[in-house]
Amino acid sequence: MPGRRGGAGDGLQGADVVAAAPDRMVVGRRREPLEETAESIEAAGGKALAVTADVARAADIEAAVAAAVEHFGSLDVAVNNAGVFRGGAPLADLTEEDWHTQLGVNVTGVFLALRAEIRQMRTQPSGGAIVNIASTFGAHTRHPGAAAYAATKAAVSVLTRGAALDHIREGIRINAVSPGAVDTPMSLQPGETDADRSARARATLPLGRVTTTEEVAAAVLHLASDDAASTVGTDLVVDSGATA
């Protein structure tokens, strides 16, 4: 409900989720997965609004925030989850197009979303909470073939800290979650099946398995909730122990 900071998000399914549970707006570029996510929220008893937007375009994300406020009355929680990975090859073999795509979505997209969300939240007596999805590939670890992606995710962690300092006195709490390998297609290596990934995780991760989207969502929910009222500008690692 608007005004309740219960949390937001559907794990890593939607690109960008705004408004607090049980009323949620899901944002992404493709209509079909958004409709599916909205239907699953409604089937679970919540209210949902699906809005198509490209987070790399200021007008799109500003319109999405306006739609959330028009529909739900306020914007209490925002989760900036949209992200893309283009890599796998050494940096010298990365195309400029892939460089700009990652920067556009992962960095500019988070900046534009933060700006639009904060401008709305600072008008609300109760402020708001924002959680950005970074990655252990940013500030916490390194992986071959991921230099550009890692740079964008390090930027998300740093943006989170800076924005948190800038806006906490306005009642807006900003934090990040840095997942390690999560059970979505993004963590599959080229040609790898889910079973291959499970075997790799058993052999290499301290926990013996990858992180689930529900576990990432639980971390987001905690940071978005009033239980985390004193947690400001942090970057919560949820990575099956990979960086322990």
Ligand X SMILES: NC(=O)c1ccc[n+]([C@@H]2O[C@H](COP(=O)([O-])OP(=O)(O)OC[C@H]3O[C@@H](n4cnc5c(N)ncnc54)[C@H](OP(=O)(O)O)[C@@H]3O)[C@@H](O)[C@H]2O)c1
Active site residues: 149
Q: What span, in angstroms and rounded, lies between the C-alpha atoms of 137 and 152?
A: 9
Query: Residue 102 or residue 124: which is nearer to ligand X going by CB?
Result: 102
Query: Residue 127 or residue 156: which is nearer to ligand X going by CB?
Result: 156
Please state, as a whole number, how many other Cβ atoms lie within 10 Å of the Cβ of residue 207. 14
- Contact with ligand X (CB under 6 A) among 105, 129, 176, 237: 105
Cα–Cα distances (Å) from 18 to 94, 131, 145, 172, 189, in that order, read 33, 10, 32, 14, 31
Q: Is 168 exposed, middle or buried (0-12, 13-18, 19+ CB in 10 A)?
A: middle
Considering only residues 43 through 62, tell me which ones interact with ligand X, judged by CB under 6 A: 54-56
Part of the chain binding ligand X (CB under 6 A), chosen from 114-122, 160-168, 180-188, 191-199: 180-188
Considering only residues 134 through 153, tell me which ones interact with ligand X, judged by CB under 6 A: 135
Please state, as a whole number, how many other Cβ atoms lie within 10 Å of the Cβ of residue 146. 20
Please tell me whether residue 188 binds ligand X under the rule CB under 6 A. no
Query: Shortest Cβ contact with ligand X: which residue?
Result: 83
Query: Residue 123 or residue 243: which is nearer to ligand X going by CB?
Result: 243
Please tell me whether residue 187 binds ligand X under the rule CB under 6 A. yes
| Helices 58-72 and 109-121: angle between axes, nearest 10 degrees | 30
- For residue 219, the minimal CB distance to ligand X (Å) is 12
Q: What span, in angstroms and rounded, lies between the C-alpha atoms of 157 and 165?
A: 13
- Contact with ligand X (CB under 6 A) among 84, 151, 218, 232: 84
Please tell me whether residue 186 binds ligand X under the rule CB under 6 A. yes
The answer to whether 142 touches 202, Cβ cutoff 8 Å, is no
Could you tell me where the beta strands, DSSP code E, fall in the chain?
Answer: 16-18, 23-28, 47-52, 77-80, 128-133, 172-179, 235-238
Part of the chain binding ligand X (CB under 6 A), chosen from 64-72, 122-130, 174-182, 194-202: 174-182
Part of the chain binding ligand X (CB under 6 A), chosen from 42-50, 71-79, 176-184, 225-233: 176-184
Q: What span, in angstroms and rounded, lies between the C-alpha atoms of 95 and 153?
A: 18
Sites of contact with ligand X (CB under 6 A): 12, 14-16, 28-30, 33, 54-56, 81-84, 105, 109, 133, 135, 179, 181-182, 184-187
